[in-house]
Structure 1
Amino acid sequence: MNFWKGRHCLSREAQLRRAYYEVLRDELDQFVIEYSLVGSYNNFLQLHTPYPFVELRELKPRARIPSVEFDAQNSFLIIFSEDHIDKKHKKYIRYFDANKTTKTNLLRHNYFPDIENYNRNMKFFETAGFFSLLRSLMQVDYALLIQREKRAKAQYALTHFHVRVDWPIADASENLAKSLRYISKDLYEKGDRYAENMQKKLFEYYGVPLMSGGRRTAAIVAAQYFRQMDGITTIYVSSSESRSLLRIDENGVSKSVLVKLPAVQVKHLAGIAEMTERRFTKNYVVARHGKFYICILNVHYDYTSHALPSEGGRLRELNFDTNWLTVAEEHILPKPAVTKYAPIPCKMIYA
């Protein structure tokens, strides 16, 4: 379901900007995986606390996830927009002068520890200090906003912190329901129960439980809101409950988690990748846990026909019992910063 402009619809200049955006996004992927998963694991080690590995059943669509918060888990919400966000969207995406990434604002909120060495160029993605600034702001409440600089054709910056997403869940659900042709105009046109079920389906559509905490709820509402724009947007969210990294982009939903692999499975994966076990361990294993090898599992989900626009754009009835997501691909990812090796296919959820 295309809600953004594909490359073939873009000008040559816009095509180059998108290519650049995707290169930067690849770099950001590595940073958030390291911070969300590897960094959190190290936090638990420092506290001498067992790491709460995600059960594979929790990665199934519509799975129930235990609502337990873990303080050692790194939590954050990042919105990475391909385009500059027009000021008309400030009603729902709350970014103002007061939460710009300026030295004055950071000093007022005491967020940036090395404030004496701060300079305004650090907010630009291309600078050496960008990820230091980003890391220092990761635990700030609400979202961090990375977007294209208004006066530049292809320069991206961490422009705002503490960005609230204030679009109502009901409005987001209505927007999704209309695009999928489950309603024609109003969320409540078929009654309160129907509207309530549609709001539940919004959470399922983005792969999060209904009673998710603030960051994940803000993430899915933001993802739906940004579909109104021509450019693509990538949402990264990690929470203390899920112990996973959720990424929402133009291709749908994916989750990354840490998993424990026995030696026999490591040997099997090394064989698939046509490499020695030693090379696999060096490039894919982030830590050892007793007899187990800890690796990063990435799961990509596809939408079922019920979560795609209806054929011919005809109105249809919502069947709450149908699944909207299905597991499409599972891969063991290389460690962050490893560039030479590719993800290895590995079916685990329904094995």
Structure 2
Amino acid sequence: MTAPILEITDVHKSYGGYPALKGVSLAVRPGEFIALVGPSGCGKTTLLKQVAGFEDTTSGSIRIEGQDMAGVPAALRPTSMVFQKLALFPHMTVAQNIGFPLKLRKAEPSAIAAKVDEMIRLMELKPEYLTRYPRALSGGEQQRVALARSMISSPKLLLLDEPLSALDVKLKKVLQAELKRLHRSVGVTFVHVTHDLEEAMMLADRICVMRTGKILQLGEPADIYYRPADPFVAGFIGETNLLPVTVTARDDQRVAYRSEEVEDRDGTVPAAMAAEGVGPGPALMMVRPELIRRCREGEEMACALPATITELFTKGGTVQYRARTPKGQELAVEIQGTSELPMKLGEAVRLGWEKKDIWLLEPGEA
């Protein structure tokens, strides 16, 4: 296997008596796009600053390409960072901003100019922008300039601290696509902090979910979304439904369970469809809103229950419903939008889903 380009081992960081990172370990592969997500204060930006060298670790180690970064200042690390507020120099032209990292390294003016031209083409910026100042550019153009400046010194690791968070939705979509294109074209390893979960799902090869200074789960987007480690990850990475069940038995092949509300064809799922810690006793059945649909009259589905539609929201291409079961369980259901709504407010319906769409979890804080 290829050696990791970034190895974070048991890193702790405390500010006074407050522990911001609690033994974080993470290995990032060369050329990978990894997203760090989690609620505010979970430690994701703190971790990024440790890698960049802007802060020292309290304990633990960070290695880049096998070299221990302890004592290595930020300017000498093979990293570059794009900040949320961009930090473009207002008194410098676009060309001067982009070329600034090479100027600090005392590169020849002709070499800087050639590299700036290369970055302009890579970021699809117009050549006439080179003589303009940042204030004369749109928000999206400023983002491209910041990315060009971060890439001009050919870093091994590009660290992104929510660089798209302040943009409007339409522009953000455009730049997300640009970021994906940039990653593919240059082959640099990206570590991206974001609050936008859809952005993380779209861009990242793997997602790292953090909470209170720890990593809860690291995996590919589909694993994080459909096979979360616990109820918190399940609820944080998109809306979901968590229905209480009781597991009655588990072996290497099957998990047996029963539910007071869910009508289940055989009351079992393959063991691979349950989280590792699930065993006899209380558990939660997770099913995502888009995997639930209305049962047609006389249709038998693997899992089903009666419910009443209590709310609906049209979202253009989809319609999202809220439903309540006879025992008061709230459900979210999302289906493709049509010119006529398939379910109406106050309507009594039967909702169902397939066995392959179930994931069983241990109970816990969502």
Which TM bucket (shorter chain)?
Answer: under 0.3
Q: Give TM-score scaled by structure 1 length.
A: 0.26
Select the structure that is richer in strand: 2
Q: Give TM-score scaled by structure 2 length.
A: 0.26
Structure 1 or 2, whichever has the larger Rg, is 2
Higher relative contact order (CA 8 A, sep 6+): 1
